[in-house]
């Protein structure tokens, strides 16, 4: 017979430490194995904090993230952002690159993705990395910007994403996810 009660946390755990296991359950430690859940490795603490605050205030959609951050103080969010920033960037996945990588590269250059996201897509202080992010999450994020479900801090991405067709979004997501 199974006698499993509620998970017992070490009594002294508070704030971010008390929820860190949940973060790991969805996001992994740097590399996400969950559909539509972003890998967090390589993200700067400042960008992470901006997003956590946006979830908490309801400015960014995401049921799980909104519910979790609603219970967190500013200091908890800072601790969470510092944890995110400590995670190593995701490795190159096994998935094959797009059949036409040069078309994808041309498209990225035409839309100047790398002027903001960094020459090698490793992101920056206020900018998320795109390199080796999950393909399904990249596609979802671009679609969320193009439909204005997600606006972002300065709405730059809405304009960028609305200029892309669905096929172009697919191509860019595969290209960025599999950058060697």
18 binds ligand HEC (CB under 6 A): no
104 binds ligand HEC (CB under 6 A): no
Is 1 annotated to bind a ligand? Reply is no
CA dist., res. 68 & res. 79, Å (int): 14
Q: Which of 30, 41, 42, 80 binds ligand HEC (CB under 6 A)?
A: 80
Q: Which is nearer to ligand HEC, 3 or 31 (CB)?
A: 31
Sign of the four-CA dihedral 142, 168, 38, 74: negative
100: Cβ contacts below 8 Å, ≥ 6 apart:
171
90 binds ligand HEC (CB under 6 A): no
Which stretches of the chain are DSSP H helices? 15-27, 45-57, 63-70, 74-85, 101-110, 113-117, 135-146, 156-162, 166-177
Q: Which is nearer to ligand HEC, 31 or 130 (CB)?
A: 130
Instruction: Kindly list the residues in this chain that would bind ligand HEC in the complex (CB under 6 A).
Output: 19, 22-23, 25-27, 36-38, 40, 43, 48, 51-52, 62, 64-65, 68, 80, 84, 108, 111-113, 115-117, 127-128, 130, 138, 141-142, 152-154, 156-157, 160, 172
């Amino acid at each position: 017979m199974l006698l499993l009660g509620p998970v017992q946390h070490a009594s002294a755990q508070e704030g971010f430490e008390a929820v860190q296991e949940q973060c790991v359950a969805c996001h992994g430690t740097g590399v996400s194995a969950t559909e539509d859940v972003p890998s967090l490795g390589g993200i700067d603490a400042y960008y992470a904090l901006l997003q956590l605050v946006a979830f908490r205030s309801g400015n960014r959609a995401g049921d799980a993230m909104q519910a979790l951050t609603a219970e967190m103080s500013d200091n908890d969010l800072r601790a969470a952002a510092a944890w995110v920033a400590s995670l190593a960037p995701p490795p190159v996945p096994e998935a094959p690159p797009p059949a036409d990588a040069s078309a994808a590269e041309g498209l990225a250059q035409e839309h100047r993705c790398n002027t903001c996201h960094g020459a090698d897509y490793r992101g920056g202080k206020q900018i998320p990395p795109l390199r080796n992010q999950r393909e399904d999450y990249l596609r979802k994020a671009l679609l969320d910007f193009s439909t204005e479900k997600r606006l972002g801090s300065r709405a730059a991405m809405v304009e960028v994403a609305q200029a892309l067709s669905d096929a172009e979004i697919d191509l860019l997501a595969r290209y960025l996810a599999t950058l060697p």
